[in-house]
Structure formats: structure tokens, C-alpha cells
Structure 1
Amino acid sequence: MATAGTRGDGMRRANLSLVLRTVHREGPRSRAALTEATGLNRSTIADLVGELQRAGLVVERASDAQGRVGRPSPIVVPDPRVVAVAANPEVDALDIGAIALDGTIVARERREQRSLLTPERTAALVAETVATWSRGPLAEARIVGVGVAVPGPVRASDGLVREAPHLGWIDAPLPDLMTDATGLTAHVANDAALGALAEYLFGAARGAHDVVYLNGGASGIGGAVIVGGTPLGGAGGYAGEFGQNRPGIVAAADRRAAEGVLEDEVSRAHLLAAVGLDGGDDAALAAALASTSDPAASAEVDRQRRILATALANAANVLNPAVIVLGGFLAVLAGRDLAGLDAAVRAQTVPACAEGLRLAVAGLGEDRLLVGAAEAVFEAELFPGR
């Protein structure tokens, strides 16, 4: 049984996390605004802000308010020197970023790969990059951990990568490898789950409590679901594998893979081939699609959009989300005609489930997975109290 002192310590940690989480996720706040947002009294807020300052987690700056009577209240902001490193290994590249607690992307690098990354190579490249940045943009930073967004199922209990099929990883102990290489505590999760978290907190799904997110990358299609503001993990943390569903294909001519799953039919590789590219990121794909006049490329886009619309309608019918967010090459597909895709989804959705449904492309763009991976670090290392 907990003692009174233990309960008090736990409450204080929870209140410190509440204040820090509020300014991190909701933006800078005056002490008065924090009092209103948290329900804590003014003296408690003053005490908590002081402790967070001494811990190097927040700073106070002068208010921008002008022309008001009286002395302006200082504004509490997350200390931008507190940083999480984030990484996303894919079949063609390793994206690495450093994201500050105030949301600033301090550094970012895309390292193209000619061969498939191994877990060991991924950890070594992240360590090499962090060492370089520590002599440059992160020289004054306090790095609190490293987060990794992996394209495949990750066991929630310990971050073991059960399978990243396109990378060839099976039961990879990536958290241990990353910690051994970098000296930082590592947090590993599925890329789509982290993308969904980022879009829910800071992007296109902000303010919604029921969200379906689909991420399209070089490794295929992943997904995640948020229900009532809580991520839907499933028994082992593997929920949301929309890319492995059998797609509904009305026209036989639209099928490309016998007995294929959704990611076999709606594919970044097919789109790149249609515009004559051997590789490239989503921006290059979008530019190529926008500039081509090849009817075959347009036909491939239309084919994938038809299949995607049915998959999204199935998700809407089962989960009744307020918003469906599409990231990666799926955002490129949707962005060609978002209203048209929305209409195609609604045409196959139960009317009641279509009420209030919004289809959106990822608001954080190419940064969504890195932001989500950084958020996993902040949540575990800085906001443990609830």
C-alpha cells in the first residue's frame, strides 16, 4: 500500500507532466492560462513552473501583448534545447531528424540507401549522425532519447520489431541495438501508429477523437486507429494493418496481383513505374505525376484511387471515424482530387457513418513519422505521470 508521501510524490509528478504536456502540445501559455487549462491553483502553477525551469524543461519569456493595462504576464514555453532524435528506416532511405520540445525541427537528413538496411546498420547510421550533429546544431542540446518509426509490426511491451517484411527484419531487438550504438534510451513503434499520433496531436486530425490513419511508404501501406482519443493497439500492439486487407475490386481489369492485398494494388512502386522513375521521395513522385501527360500514368492513378476509395469506405463503415488521414504516397494520390476521392468514399459508405466524416491529407507532410517518433520519446521520458 502506498504511503501518504508516495501518493503526494505521484500527484506532484502527474501535475508536473500535466503542465509540461500542456505547453508542449497546446503551445506557450501564461501562468494564468495554465491555471485555467489545468484546473490547478495559481500558487501551485507558480511552484510547478519554477521546478520545471530548474529542471531545464521550460523557460519563461516576455509576453508579446502590447497596449494592455498592468504588467504583462510572462509566457511559459518548452525549452528548445530539449531534443529527441527520430528515425524512420525504409527500403530506399533512412530519414533522421532532431525535434525540439517546442516543436522545432532542429536538424533533418535523408540518407539514401542502395541496399536494404539491417537493424545494426540502422543503429550505426543514427549514432554516426547524432555524433556529427552534436558538434553542430545539437551542440547545446539535451538529447532525451531516440525514437524509431518502423514499417512493420512492433511488440508494444518491449519494442521488438516482429517483422519489417520489406526490410527483411524478423524479431529484431532494435531498442537494444539503438541504445548500445547511441547511448540513448530508445523507443520503437510502428511507423503508421506514430504518424497517426503526430497527426492527431499536431496535424490534420487535431481536435478529432476518432481517427483512421493510413500511411503509404516505400514498404507498403500501414495504418492506425484512434478511438475516443486513445490509440487502438490490439492485444499485442499490432492493430491497424490495413495494407494487409484483401481489397474490394469491382472491375477485374483493375486487379494487378492475383490474391493480392491492398498494398499490392495501391502501390508507390506502381506509381513510380508509371511515370518512369526508378526511385524518389513523395515530393518527386507528386511532381512527376503533375507534369506527365501520359494517359497510362493517369489510368494508373485512377485505378489506384478506385481501389483506395473502397478500402477507405470499408474502414469508415467499420470504425465510424470523424476523420480519415492519408500520409505518404497516399496523400499524393488523394491530393490529385481530394473532393473526388471523398465523393467516391461516401458513395460506398453507410449514410450514418458518412455524416461528419472528413477526408484529409497529412498536415505534417514528410515530417509526420519523425514528429511521431519524437513524441514517443517525450511521452515516455518527460510525461510519465498521468
Structure 2
Amino acid sequence: MKERATAVEAVRRTNLGEVLRLVHRHGPRSRSLLTAETGLNRSTVADLVTALAERGLVTEQEPDANKRVGRPSPVVTASADVVAIGVNPEVDAIEVGAVSLGGGLRARARIELTDVPAVADAVATIADLVTRWRSEELVGCRIVGVGVAVPGLVRASDGLVRLAPHLGWRDEDIATPLAEALGLPVTVDNDASLGARAEHLFGAAREHTDVIYLNGGASGIGGGVILDGTLIRGAGGYAGEWGQTRPGIANEAHRRTHDGVLEDEVNRARLMAAATLVAGDDDALAAALSGAPGPTADEEVVRQRRVLAATISNAVNALNPSMIVLGGFLGILRDRDPEGFDADVRERSLAVAAEGLEIASAALGLDRLLIGAAEAAFAELLADPLTSRPQ
């Protein structure tokens, strides 16, 4: 009898997670739509929604009766007061966002840096900001946890940063000191893997199951691969390091180093220098490149676009994705002439592999890594809303 009760409770927890994931990832849903999407009966859905509402995870409201025929079904919405903290430490800045269930940002900050941060410095900066938010922007909110998007190799089993070369982090544990400083669970993962997941769930790749995501940041180029809806991680969690591939540029005029990897050739610092910009985020870089005088900036953009297109065509031929998403400064390169860039990729790819291929810049823009990191922090709650009460 006890085993049966345990099994029934496990099913209920699974169903609660399914309802919460639907309203979190797909937006407000009526009870009737949730009934159709889950395949559960109306009374079961009503019970699940009530349980989630009692825990403050969703809210319900009556729809506009003037826009419905027949008896209206209450609309269930993920609570904006339940948040996760997303963090992206980089060589030039630390970005932090408070992301609500449903994907909206409650607060966001970019802390510019003069020196590359050590782990202890990053922890102190993040902890100070989140502590202040708790008494200001996030008053009345419940924080589920923290997700950290690191530009480097992160061990999947425990979140240890094996190597973030541009940050100078090797075998560093940022999760433990940050968890101790904030009293919250902390999840750490590769920034591009988290960006891939964010764009797949909430951004440009929502309708696709085979996706290549390339992220261009101050530390270089990383990537994430989603095949048949599953993020490919590799044996240790290190898959997707596109920036370390060698583009094999035959023409010396198009190559900046003798035998450089992709992130040496397609490089944010080179674009910053060409635009005579000392600091700033990607929006500032895009604006500076557009207004930069003389041919230098345009020449560098054209050169990097050519190398990037060649690299992407290799990925198209190897993995046959239906969607490629470019984040960070890579999106800036494409956006200079999207049609021309996409045509260049297709011209360099096998025709059959490029059939139906879509290419897009990251729809989530500057927030993509913060939303991806927050999604990692939400994972436990979304899997089992009864597992713990958000803080």
C-alpha cells in the first residue's frame, strides 16, 4: 500500500512539473489548453494548478469574457515573483540578471571591469549585487538559485571550471563560494551551451530540433549543438568548442595569424579596435562599427564574415542542422548584410545539406546567456515543484 502511495505521489510530482514547464516556457495557458496539452482530465489539471498557485509558482485570472465563446477557462501564468539569478563573468565585465519564471527579466546589471576577475573577485561582485537586489529590485521575490555561464570548459558532473583560458581559471570551483555567500544553490555550465538552450527554448530556434548555436564574446567563440532536441555535451561536457577549430584559410590576405584557430581570426577585440571602442557591450559595438570612419572597420567586418561563413559551412556539412543561431558579436557580423552572409554559407555548403537551412542572429540579444543560466537554476524546480520551497 505504501509503495502504491509513493508511486501516486511520484506521478503527481511529474504532472506538476509538466504543467509548470508549459506555462514557464510557452507562456500563459488556459486550463482547457493545459488539459489538451497534458492529456490529463480537467479535474486533475484543476488540482495541479491549485497546488502550484498555493506555492506561489503560478497565478490565475479570468480571461476577457468578451473575446470567448462559451464558458471561459481561467488563464494560468507563471509567477513573475519567482526568480533565478543568471550570471556571465567575462574578461571585461560581469553581467547579472534576475530572470522570472516565464523568461522575463526583473533586474539586469553589467559591471565593467578594468582587470580580468579572479574567482574570489567574481564571487564578491555577484554577491554584493544580489544582496542589494534582495532589498531593492527583488523585494517580495523568491529566489530559486543561481546559474553561472562560464566562457570555458566546465565539467558536466559537478560544474568545476576545468579551463577558462581568457579568465585564467583552471580547475576552479566558483559554485561553492558563491553558494556560501548567497545561501542559494548554484549551477555552473559553459556559456554557449546555456545560450544554445535559451535560444532553443525561448528564442530564434524554438521551432527547431536540430540546431547549431555559436556564441561570440570577449573571451572568444563557443558553441552548442542540439540534435533531435537534445543538447550534445560530449564525454566530459566539453563539446561545442567551435572557437578552437582551425578554419584553414588558404589566402594569406584573409588570415591574421600563421596557424590560428577560429577565435583568433573572428575576434571581438579586433572589431573593437577597428571601431576605436575601448569598452562596451554588443549594442555599443554594433553602433560603433556602423559609425566608424574610413574603410578599416568595414574591411575587418568583411574579412571576419568570410572566415565565419566558411567555418559554418563545415558545420552544415557535418551535422545538417535546420537552424544556425549566431549570438554576441557573431550576430553583429551577420546583421551587416544578412542575405549576403546566408547566401555565402549556402554557397560553401553541400546543396542538399543546406536545403531548408535557416540562419538567424540570437533573438534574445544581450539577455541570451543570462536567460540560459537562469534556466539551469530553474531546472530542479521545473522537474519537481514540490522538491523544495524557493528562498
Look up the match of 1:214: 214
1:69–1:203: structure 2 CA closer, same or farther, 3 Å change rule? closer
1:355–1:122: structure 2 CA closer, same or farther, 3 Å change rule? same
In 2, Cα distance between equivalents of 1:45 and 1:171: 46
- Kindly indicate whether the alpha-carbon contact (under 8 Å) linking 1:195 and 1:215 is maintained by their aligned counterparts in 2: yes
In 2, Cα distance between equivalents of 1:15 and 1:281: 41
- Kindly indicate whether the alpha-carbon contact (under 8 Å) linking 1:223 and 1:242 is maintained by their aligned counterparts in 2: yes
1:13–1:298: structure 2 CA closer, same or farther, 3 Å change rule? same
Matched residue type, 2:126: V
In 1, Cα distance between equivalents of 2:39 and 2:132: 43
Matched residue type, 1:14: T
Look up the match of 1:282: 282
- Kindly indicate whether the alpha-carbon contact (under 8 Å) linking 2:276 and 2:292 is maintained by their aligned counterparts in 1: no
Look up the match of 1:334: 334
- Kindly indicate whether the alpha-carbon contact (under 8 Å) linking 1:275 and 1:288 is maintained by their aligned counterparts in 2: yes
Look up the match of 1:57: 57
1:31–1:301: structure 2 CA closer, same or farther, 3 Å change rule? same
Look up the match of 1:6: 6
In 2, Cα distance between equivalents of 1:259 and 1:67: 63
Matched residue type, 2:59: V
Shift in Å at residue 302 of structure 1? 0.8
Look up the match of 1:186: 186
Secondary structure at the counterpart of residue 178 of structure 1? helix
* 1:191-247 CA-partner distances (Å, limit 9, x unpaired): 000101110011111110000000000000000000000100111111100000011
* 1:53-100 CA-partner distances (Å, limit 9, x unpaired): 111111101213425344422101111110001110000000011011
Matched residue type, 1:152: G
- Kindly indicate whether the alpha-carbon contact (under 8 Å) linking 1:84 and 1:98 is maintained by their aligned counterparts in 2: yes
In 1, Cα distance between equivalents of 2:281 and 2:53: 40
Secondary structure at the counterpart of residue 8 of structure 1? helix
In 2, Cα distance between equivalents of 1:381 and 1:76: 17
Look up the match of 2:149: 149
* 1:335-372 CA-partner distances (Å, limit 9, x unpaired): 00111111111111111110010110000000000000
1:100 aligns with 2:100: yes
In 2, Cα distance between equivalents of 1:98 and 1:368: 13
- Kindly indicate whether the alpha-carbon contact (under 8 Å) linking 1:266 and 1:304 is maintained by their aligned counterparts in 2: yes
Shift in Å at residue 259 of structure 1? 1.6
Secondary structure at the counterpart of residue 125 of structure 2? helix
Q: Calculate percent identity across the aligned residue pairs.
A: 57
In 1, Cα distance between equivalents of 2:274 and 2:66: 56
1:176-325 mapped onto 2 (5 Å cutoff): 176-325=176-325
Matched residue type, 1:376: A
Look up the match of 2:45: 45
In 2, Cα distance between equivalents of 1:68 and 1:109: 41
Look up the match of 1:23: 23
Matched residue type, 2:95: D
1:106-185 mapped onto 2 (5 Å cutoff): 106-185=106-185
Matched residue type, 2:134: S
In 2, Cα distance between equivalents of 1:232 and 1:76: 33
* 1:304-356 CA-partner distances (Å, limit 9, x unpaired): 11100010000110010001000000000010011111111111111111001
TM-score by length of 2: 0.96
Unaligned 5+ runs, structure 2: 386-391
1:79–1:290: structure 2 CA closer, same or farther, 3 Å change rule? same
Please, what is the CA RMSD of the aligned residues?
1.3
1:69–1:124: structure 2 CA closer, same or farther, 3 Å change rule? same
In 2, Cα distance between equivalents of 1:72 and 1:18: 23
Matched residue type, 2:102: D
Look up the match of 2:388: none
- Kindly indicate whether the alpha-carbon contact (under 8 Å) linking 1:149 and 1:188 is maintained by their aligned counterparts in 2: yes
In 2, Cα distance between equivalents of 1:355 and 1:64: 43
Shift in Å at residue 276 of structure 1? 1.5
Unaligned 5+ runs, structure 1: none
Look up the match of 2:79: 79
- Kindly indicate whether the alpha-carbon contact (under 8 Å) linking 1:313 and 1:348 is maintained by their aligned counterparts in 2: yes
- Kindly indicate whether the alpha-carbon contact (under 8 Å) linking 2:153 and 2:190 is maintained by their aligned counterparts in 1: yes
- Kindly indicate whether the alpha-carbon contact (under 8 Å) linking 1:84 and 1:99 is maintained by their aligned counterparts in 2: yes
Matched residue type, 1:162: R
Secondary structure at the counterpart of residue 354 of structure 1? coil
- Kindly indicate whether the alpha-carbon contact (under 8 Å) linking 2:16 and 2:384 is maintained by their aligned counterparts in 1: no
Look up the match of 1:347: 347
Look up the match of 2:361: 361
TM-score by length of 1: 0.97
Shift in Å at residue 131 of structure 1? 1.0
- Kindly indicate whether the alpha-carbon contact (under 8 Å) linking 1:248 and 1:311 is maintained by their aligned counterparts in 2: no
Secondary structure at the counterpart of residue 124 of structure 2? helix
In 2, Cα distance between equivalents of 1:8 and 1:236: 35
In 1, Cα distance between equivalents of 2:278 and 2:257: 21
Secondary structure at the counterpart of residue 321 of structure 2? coil
In 1, Cα distance between equivalents of 2:109 and 2:281: 13
Shift in Å at residue 160 of structure 1? 0.6
